[in-house]
Structure formats: structure tokens, C-alpha cells
Amino acid sequence: MAAANEDLSKMMEDPGQWVIQTGDYKNQRYSKLDQINKDNVGDMQVAWTFSTGVLRGHEGSPLVIGDTMYLHTPFPNIVYALDLANDGKIKWKYEPKQDPEVIPVMCCDTVNRGVAYADGKIFLHQADTTVVALNAETGAVEWSVANGDASKGETNTATVMPVKDKILVGISGGEFGVRGSLTAYNISDGSLAWRAYSMGPDSDILMDPENTMNLGKPVGENSGTNTWEGDQWMIGGGTTWGWYSYDPELNLVYYGTGNPSTWNPAQRPGDNRWSMTIMARDADTGMAKWVYQMTPHDEWDYDGVNEMILTEQTIDGQERKLLTHFDRNGLGYTLDRVTGELLVAEKFDPAVNWTTGVVMDKESPEYGRPQVVAQYSTEQNGEDVNSTGICPAALGSKDQQPAAYSPNTELFYVPTNHVCMDYEPFRVSYTAGQPYVGATLAMYPAPESHGGMGNFIAWDGKKGEIKWSIPEQFSVWSGALATAGDVVFYGTLEGYLKAVDANTGDLLYKFKTPSGIIGNVMTYTYDDQQFVGILSGVGGWAGIGLAAGLANPNDGLGAVGGYAALSDYTALGGQLTVFKLPN
């Protein structure tokens, strides 16, 4: 077993531990464990359970470091250290003091996507943006730093990512006119190393006009200001609340930026760079090596923050370092992660209708741009336009719930939404700390389909094709796990943990946990036995009606119509369920 202070990359190679939320730096969410496999997973039983004592949405997963499990909760952001030798007996508990005034400033429930580990410390990133380093053995606070200011609408839901001697920290608040940034703090004492804004002057966005590349061309001067009107970039969104990945060989960090603020596109002319962008940055300096904006001048709230999954695959006889990303906008992208070359951009939900696809002709001035279907635009010549039947809805063909990749099958396993919307933009003015949304939405299941709001799909990233698809009544809002046992796990909003065959998608096992699942499945070993863990606790944007306890569940930010039926299946309450094979 790796000692607590051993190099994190090495610890990731030990499949017995789960040392980072994303499984590894590649975000593959793939485990080499195969004790539980497709032949015996049907026999799985509950080993032990743990109630977190907190309501609202439980995203992310626990970590396992040695014989300790580290478990987090949504606001108030409690951290538990649990003893694996004693079915989760509490070793220590840390509960921060936070001003509850942060709760109404969080757009999409009070979720938190989990703690991180490095160098003997557990890193908690609180809702109010405080980052705390806790001693992993004792839970004592070693240092803390405020990454943002909740009174200006700056909040947090994301985990942090440790890379070498730093942690990388994002920010939420795209619905409050926050200017997004990714910030690196030194692990030793929490001091600032670098900050890269998503928009603004070149020196703020850490881009070199001549050497930061955009689809093979330099980005040029002032790219983060001259694609905005006046100083709108100062309240431009592009927040960084998703997942980050890292390639140690290239020393590049990959992540995506969120929607431009406001949701009313007529109020912010221009391409609004670098919102909706895949960023590749040097881990030591933050300097951008390459960028690619997926949805210039977003008209639908298609944040680009979903995870970047790093793989090595052979294309046309050549082994390439790839990056695959399933965007909210419904397109599955594969890029060369060394250069940022765009290789594939295809719809991963047949319902997607706002675009006919991306221009792939390198000679075209439109190269890399999605072609917008005019009927689904929400502005015309600077005027607001109400538009109906847009697919996907604002929560995208996929939101932050992370996909998994199996090197065995070379398939991606993707939790998706199958939801469309009507969009009504309206004029809004900016006041710090107040919602700066500028549109109302109605969301409903994709028409002319199976009637449900989700699919769990297997995707061939090289061809850009769906291999198989499992229809689900509700969006699949849980992160997937693929294993060497050729099993793929995911959770459903009704509360089922499901295990399916990685090749065929055939259902092998299901178990109804106490609440809807928006957490991510993880696995580890203790005493040579494989365990599978999942957090239940319905909430997040899809479950916000239930989470907020609203009289009318459609009153959340953007009416999320069809999810109201969730109350027929489940209710609030955080619980971890741990499974194993019978002894």
C-alpha cells in the first residue's frame, strides 16, 4: 500500500485506492480491478452504508487512501474520515463555518463534487469558495484561502485538482456575471501561484498572441476583449466549475469554460471568447498552449465545462494522444491533445437540432464553427427572439456528470440527457451578487423518442458513433465507472445503481438505493476484496425541485418540467452505499 505522502501519480496506478475524484489524471474513470466482473456482478450485496446527515444533492464520490475513506457532503460541506477496517466507523469529522447566505447564490443546488488528496492533506473546496487543507490523519486545518467572494456571486461546487506542487481551483457563478478563472495555489502553504481568467486582456487570460494556438493559428492580440462589446468581458461568465485533467508528459492541464453571461445573447454581441472553450494550459505557469471555442456567442447556455477524457488510440495506423469531450451542446469532440487539432465533432444524441454540425474544412473561414439552424436561434439582428423546440435544453445533452472510458473496449460510456426546451430571452441589468440570467426556459423530454429524459450510451470516439444506448426515464445524472471486469456502472435519478455489460449494454445488476443518484461510482479494495461505492442524495439542477423543497418543482432556475415526476420515486437524503461480492 502506498504511503500517504507518496507521489500522487504513483498512487493512481494502485487500483486498490481511489485517490482522485476522476479516477486518474486522464479522467477515464476506469479501474483495473476485475474481482467483480460481468459473470459475478449479479451476486453483489450491500457491504455497509453510511448516512451523511445532509439533505440536498450529493455529487462526486468518496476517496480511498490506504485504509481510510474520505467522504464529503453538499453545503455545509462536512468531511468525514471513515475507517475501512470498521465498516466506515468515523475517525474524524470536519465541519466548516459558512455563511448560509451563500445558498441562494448557487445556481443549481448546493452540490459539491468532492475532496481531493495530495501530500498528506485533504483539500475541501467549500461553497463560499474557501479552500481548506486538512491534515489527512487528524482533520486539523493546515491552511485555508478564499478563492472568491460570495457577496459578488462567486461560489463553488467543483473539486480541486492537485498537480505536482499545486492545486488547481475553479469557480462558479456564470448566472451572476462572475468572470471565470482557473487558479493555482501552492500545496505547501496555499499561496497564489497563478490565475488564468477566461476573458479579459492577454495578461489576465495568460495567452501569448503569437504562441497560443487556436485550430492551428495564433490567437492574436486581445482575443479575450475584442470579441466583446466594450467592457462586458468584466462580467462575462466563462466559469470553470467542471472537471480538470492533466497529461504529465506534456505538462498540460485541460478543462472547459462555461457560458458567457448573460443568457440573453442579444445583450452581448461578438464571439464572447473564451467562454465555451477547451483550454490546454501549462501546469507550472498557466500559459495557454492551445484553445478551441466550441460554441461561439452561445445562445442556449451550453456551458463547455464537461470533462476532457484523455486516451491513446490508433487513428489511420498512427497512435495519437487524444482528448474526447461530450459537450452540453450535444456534440462529441475528439481532438489531438498535443496540438489542439480537431479530429471529430459528431452529435451524441440524435435529438440535437440547433446545429447541422461543425465545419471541418480547414480552408474554410468558418473552420471549427458549429453551423446554427436559424429556427433555433434566440436572437436576430440584436433583437430577442423566443424560440421553441430547441434540442438539447440548457442542461445539455450531457451536464457535468462524468463519462467513463474502457481501454479494453475502446468505448466511452456516457450518461446523457434527452431533453429539449423553449427559450425566452429578456433584458437584464447587472448588479453584483444578483442573478444575471436574462432568459426563462421550459424543459421537457425530447419529442418523437422513447418518452424518457435520458439515455446511457456507449460511444466510439474515433468514428463518432453510438454503439448502444439504454433508454432511461430520467436524465442520467450520475458519473459512470468502467472496469477491467468488463462491467460498467452508473446510477439513476430514481436511485438505482445499475451494472451493465461493457460490450453489449445488457443489464447485469440493479439495486435501489435510498435516494436518487447524482454521485459518481467508484471502486477500491480493502483486505484483498473489491468494493463498489456510490453516493445517493437527489439534487443538482435536474433534482433542484426536490432539493429546494419548492412547492412547485418547476420553479427552479429554468423550469425543469419532466423531473417533477421524480417525487414519485425518491426523496432527499445523503447516503453512501458500499457493495461487495458474498464472502
CA 123 – CA 126 distance, rounded (Å): 10
CB of 112 to ligand PQQ, least distance (A): 9
Say how many residues touch ligand PQQ, by CB under 6 A.
20
CB of 519 to ligand PQQ, least distance (A): 11
Indicate which single residue of 148, 438, 461, 540 sits in contact with ligand PQQ (rule: CB under 6 A).
540
Query: Has 301 been annotated as catalytic?
Result: yes
CA 491 – CA 521 distance, rounded (Å): 8
Q: Is residue 103 within the footprint of ligand PQQ (CB under 6 A)?
A: no
Q: Is residue 172 within the footprint of ligand PQQ (CB under 6 A)?
A: yes
Beta carbons within 8 Å of 573's beta carbon, 6+ residues apart: 51, 55, 514, 515, 536, 537
Q: Is residue 400 within the footprint of ligand PQQ (CB under 6 A)?
A: yes
Q: Is residue 307 within the footprint of ligand PQQ (CB under 6 A)?
A: no
Q: Which residues, numbered 69-88, are part of the site for ligand PQQ (CB under 6 A)?
A: none
Q: Is residue 239 within the footprint of ligand PQQ (CB under 6 A)?
A: yes
Indicate which single residue of 274, 412, 541, 579 sits in contact with ligand PQQ (rule: CB under 6 A).
541
Cα separations in angstroms, 553 against 189, 543, 566: 43, 9, 10
579 near 48, Cβ under 8 Å? Answer: no
Residue 565 exposed, middle or buried by CB count within 10 Å (0-12, 13-18, 19+): middle
Which residue is at the shortest CB distance from ligand PQQ?
Answer: 174
CB of 157 to ligand PQQ, least distance (A): 4
Q: Which residues, numbered 202-221, are part of the site for ligand PQQ (CB under 6 A)?
A: none
What is the distance in angstroms between the CA of the first residue and the CA of the last residue of the chain?
A: 23
CA 177 – CA 154 distance, rounded (Å): 9
Cell numbers 466506515 correspond to 88
Indicate which single residue of 174, 556, 561, 573 sits in contact with ligand PQQ (rule: CB under 6 A).
174
User: What residues does 442 pair with on adjacent strands?
Assistant: 422, 559
Indicate which single residue of 30, 94, 241, 254 sits in contact with ligand PQQ (rule: CB under 6 A).
241
- Shorter beta-carbon distance to ligand PQQ: residue 84 or 107: 107
Q: Which residues, numbered 264-303, are part of the site for ligand PQQ (CB under 6 A)?
A: 303
- Shorter beta-carbon distance to ligand PQQ: residue 70 or 243: 243
Cα separations in angstroms, 26 against 168, 304, 438: 15, 18, 36
Q: Is residue 154 within the footprint of ligand PQQ (CB under 6 A)?
A: no
Q: Which residue is catalytic, options 109, 301, 303, 384? A: 301
Indicate which single residue of 20, 64, 84, 107 sits in contact with ligand PQQ (rule: CB under 6 A).
107
Q: Is residue 259 within the footprint of ligand PQQ (CB under 6 A)?
A: yes
Pairing of strands 252-256, 277-282: antiparallel
CB of 259 to ligand PQQ, least distance (A): 6
The candidate with the shortest Cα–Cα distance to 305, out of 157, 106, 518, 455, is: 157
Secondary structure (3-state) at 38: coil
281 near 357, Cβ under 8 Å? Answer: no
Count of C-beta atoms within a 10 Å radius of residue 235: 21
CB of 128 to ligand PQQ, least distance (A): 13
Cell of 140: 486539523
Secondary structure letter of residue 9 according to DSSP: H
- Shorter beta-carbon distance to ligand PQQ: residue 236 or 286: 236
What number of CA atoms fall less than 13 Å from residue 555's CA on the CB side?
8
CB of 400 to ligand PQQ, least distance (A): 6
Contact region with ligand PQQ (CB under 6 A), list: 42-50, 104-112, 246-254, 508-516? 104-112
Q: Is residue 399 within the footprint of ligand PQQ (CB under 6 A)?
A: yes
CB of 355 to ligand PQQ, least distance (A): 19
Using CB under 6 A as the criterion, which residues of the chain lie in contact with ligand PQQ when the complex forms? 59, 107-109, 111, 157, 172-175, 239, 241, 258-259, 303, 395, 399-400, 540-541
**Catalytic positions, written as ranges:** 301
